[in-house]
Structure 1
């Protein structure tokens, strides 16, 4: 391996603050930056338990690809690539952050750099220039680092053979897989696997650990999902959430345990995937990460909201509350339209009927799971008269789905949020409640608020606040208003009001 290059320091990273985080082994910064050590030639997460290197011997990098491009290999002790992602990507949602979300979903593997650039509205040359400037590496290198991370996960956590690992991680050949693993980890796949146990379950189930920052309010996230679970698509049993997944190559399922994780602990959740095509593992994992809001920095969010007298009791009682994302943007948009003017329970019933009639049947090993949520093209072709809802809402539903099916509207974290909101509001029958709900759950916007939502108004009344002041009061919760929104909904614990979330 070539000697590590001196490299250039990312101007957005303060070396003094970064080194202080490394010296204190602060886990909150895992995933925010990486520490490259010249004397050892390796890069680590900030919380690596190894001896703290001298300040003059380290540089800092935004991404694993940047550190790899400078000639460093990943630390095998702290596994720096197995960390939550950068929370700032969701806060800022700039081109670099949106590109990283799409790369994590496998867009480069499926459509190439040109496909990624087209999604973002840039030429590939200009996009690579932006990525090198902000993340320290071009798109192909970022995608390669992602493949290496998935390969390491599969090697250390499953008993899949090397050829299957290479295939699942997105490599074009076993030779490319071997070469990349040796270069990134300074070890062969066999050496990296070590004593990996047989964790692939029956019927091709694959275990993947999903890192999250702590504290993590798993039971509250599970309760949110359970209240809205659509029959045939989602099932909640005990502490486990399971659902079907409509993935790029074939359907699949995921089962994930959602425990409460206390602050200061290393947050690892266990997910079991059953896939029709191993190539979908990366996309499936990324979509589940979005669902779990895995990249959130709960300490920063709770510190801000906990300083507000209205929300302080909620933060103290339930630290680490997440904003539930989603595995499919079109699905959450369809469900949001179904939820207009009705209770959560009524929206769930309508969605379940839609799935029972139009959802594609799939075979699964999970009791209660047997259908995919109807795709955009299926919803776009529905007969308005066959839908048990007002005509205006039915037209909004099919029009929105037509835009998604035709590629005119993308509802994922790779899109520019303001443009998506404008396009949604241009659909007759789609108002601010629907647009902002979609932004919060599908686009991962941490700063959306629904002032006219019935649940919001009920929660504010309980807190002794005039609901007419909702928009004004929410300004002090920026840039984390989505989390404040979840705290207001979560405060409605009474059965009589727990499911009143809807647009007025």
Structure 2
């Protein structure tokens, strides 16, 4: 959109918050860049330029506005949902792949040469992978400086900087302020081991329904819920972690969250995976407008504006749970997963008080489990072992950098994995916004209650947001269907 100058300028003049994170406004006369909704500016059109990313604005020599904090916006919904190479690269950069493996490693993950990847990413975002990673580190650092009690040295380490000097230089360049200036009068204190911060989301945000969905499926040992909160364990690149998010409905544009990490370097991937879980980068206005145009779905949309598609933090875990859930109730699948965690999961090993105790078994462990040892049909046990082996061997990629069509094809080639399982993985792990499960019995019950006769045909009118329609139908079951439905693999 940033190439359409007139459309961007109209959004800036109207202070339209829906475009925060979609593009950035740079003002030549001040040398700063802002959100489209920034209350501090209404610049003349001749004095502004528009950029597709914060990194692109920074490369052009602009500094972040201190009032609207443009780098703290939710990610662009276009980037988050895009299935092309640039979108996949952006999601891996946000997960910290550049810090861990370098640009060469990122290119290898995507099957491109480094030169090709730089050209593709720069063409889409106005900046290359290194600049995008640097902007992400700066954003993480600023949020930690302003919201946590961590020392500056700990902030630099947790944000992914290689040295204190690099951290200080980047913060001064990006924000025209020192870390001390950003922290203000709160002072600095040593980290307590728990990092309290926040995640930006677009409004409206239906946190209560998201919590209900997660609570219904919470697996003992790795997940816990309570009044207004959800906690789960995280298997991160350098060690274990725990995240707790507050999901009460609130007028603010942030979800409070706290992290307990074995290694502070894992903060960036922990934040990114939690963003996926919350579907934080969704554009709820666009989704709700499209779905509400259907008179049968409109009452559901009005009842729950800003309903999110719950993502997931671990592709192996979600795939395992999807196979366990074939043709059993949600409660039955949760019980099976809990037994698997208790017998094969790893103990968390983190200090502090947590409601969770284990990490989910890895693909290596699951691939070695005898199918007969799991209290489920043998065919399904063999499917679980085959799927785990494919993940372990790299034949199936289950992260946001994977090609969705290739992953679906690879999953369907495995024994015991049909369209329901492959598509459920696609919309919760890969973030595909346009998945529909017409054979799911819960969906059929909800459609029947709403008077939808031709479900397959009508769902075509919900594109490209059928995943959100699916969540609306499942959520409506609590209003219309008292019993817990079975899921069905076809």
TM-score bin (small chain):
over 0.9
Change (3 A) 1:59 1:498: farther
1:52 equivalent to 2:42? Answer: yes
Secondary structure, counterpart of 1:236 in structure 2: strand
In 2: Cα distance, 1:227 partner to 1:131 partner:
39
1:170 equivalent to 2:160? Answer: yes
1:27–1:46 contact (8 Å) kept in structure 2: yes
**In the alignment, which residue of structure 1 is the partner of 2:368?**
381
**In the alignment, which residue of structure 1 is the partner of 2:406?**
419
Please, which moves more after superposition, 339-348 or 153-162? 153-162
Secondary structure, counterpart of 1:400 in structure 2: helix
**In the alignment, which residue of structure 2 is the partner of 1:7?**
none
Please, which moves more after superposition, 270-279 or 190-199? 190-199
In 2: Cα distance, 1:319 partner to 1:219 partner:
11
**In the alignment, which residue of structure 2 is the partner of 1:403?**
390
**In the alignment, which residue of structure 2 is the partner of 1:130?**
120
Secondary structure, counterpart of 2:242 in structure 1: strand
Q: Choose which of 185, 191, 199 in structure 1 pairs with 2:175.
A: 185
**In the alignment, which residue of structure 2 is the partner of 1:293?**
279
In 2: Cα distance, 1:495 partner to 1:462 partner:
8
2:33–2:57 contact (8 Å) kept in structure 1: yes
2:81–2:87 contact (8 Å) kept in structure 1: no
Instruction: After superposition, give the CA deviation of every residue in 1:122-147 in whole Å (9 maximum; x if it has no partner).
Output: 00100000111110011111101111
1:97 equivalent to 2:83? Answer: no
- TM-superposed deviation, 1:177: 0.8
- TM-superposed deviation, 1:196: 3.8
- TM-superposed deviation, 1:406: 1.8
1:157–1:197 contact (8 Å) kept in structure 2: no
Secondary structure, counterpart of 1:271 in structure 2: strand
1:74 equivalent to 2:59? Answer: no
Secondary structure, counterpart of 2:477 in structure 1: coil
Please, what TM-score do these two structures have when normalized by structure 2?
A: 0.97
- TM-superposed deviation, 1:345: 0.7
1:199–1:207 contact (8 Å) kept in structure 2: no
1:451 equivalent to 2:451? Answer: no
In 1: Cα distance, 2:487 partner to 2:300 partner:
18
In 2: Cα distance, 1:13 partner to 1:395 partner:
51
**In the alignment, which residue of structure 2 is the partner of 1:112?**
102
1:218 equivalent to 2:207? Answer: yes
**In the alignment, which residue of structure 1 is the partner of 2:6?**
16
Q: How does 1:279-428 map to 2 (within 5 A)?
A: 279-364=265-350, 365-428=352-415
- TM-superposed deviation, 1:25: 1.0
Instruction: After superposition, give the CA deviation of every residue in 1:433-476 in whole Å (9 maximum; x if it has no partner).
Output: 0000000000000000000001011111111233xx32221100
Secondary structure, counterpart of 1:427 in structure 2: coil
Instruction: After superposition, give the CA deviation of every residue in 1:4-39 in whole Å (9 maximum; x if it has no partner).
Output: xxxxxxx75311111111111111111111101100
Please, what TM-score do these two structures have when normalized by structure 1?
A: 0.94
Secondary structure, counterpart of 1:446 in structure 2: coil
Q: How does 1:219-238 map to 2 (within 5 A)?
A: 219-238=208-227
Change (3 A) 1:236 1:143: same
Please, which moves more after superposition, 137-146 or 92-101? 92-101
1:343–1:502 contact (8 Å) kept in structure 2: no
In 1: Cα distance, 2:379 partner to 2:3 partner:
50
Change (3 A) 1:487 1:249: same
1:91–1:479 contact (8 Å) kept in structure 2: no
Q: Choose which of 485, 496, 503 in structure 1 pairs with 2:470.
A: 485
Please, which moves more after superposition, 456-465 or 212-221? 456-465
In 2: Cα distance, 1:216 partner to 1:118 partner:
36
1:146 equivalent to 2:146? Answer: no
In 2: Cα distance, 1:482 partner to 1:200 partner:
43
In 1: Cα distance, 2:389 partner to 2:179 partner:
45
Instruction: After superposition, give the CA deviation of every residue in 1:81-138 in whole Å (9 maximum; x if it has no partner).
Output: 1011111124332111111100000000001101110111100100000111110011
**In the alignment, which residue of structure 2 is the partner of 1:470?**
455
Structure 1 portions without partners, runs of 5+: 1-10
2:234–2:359 contact (8 Å) kept in structure 1: yes
In 2: Cα distance, 1:91 partner to 1:158 partner:
30
In 1: Cα distance, 2:135 partner to 2:474 partner:
39
Please, which moves more after superposition, 415-424 or 182-191? 182-191
Change (3 A) 1:284 1:16: same
1:155–1:196 contact (8 Å) kept in structure 2: no
Secondary structure, counterpart of 1:195 in structure 2: helix
In 1: Cα distance, 2:120 partner to 2:410 partner:
26
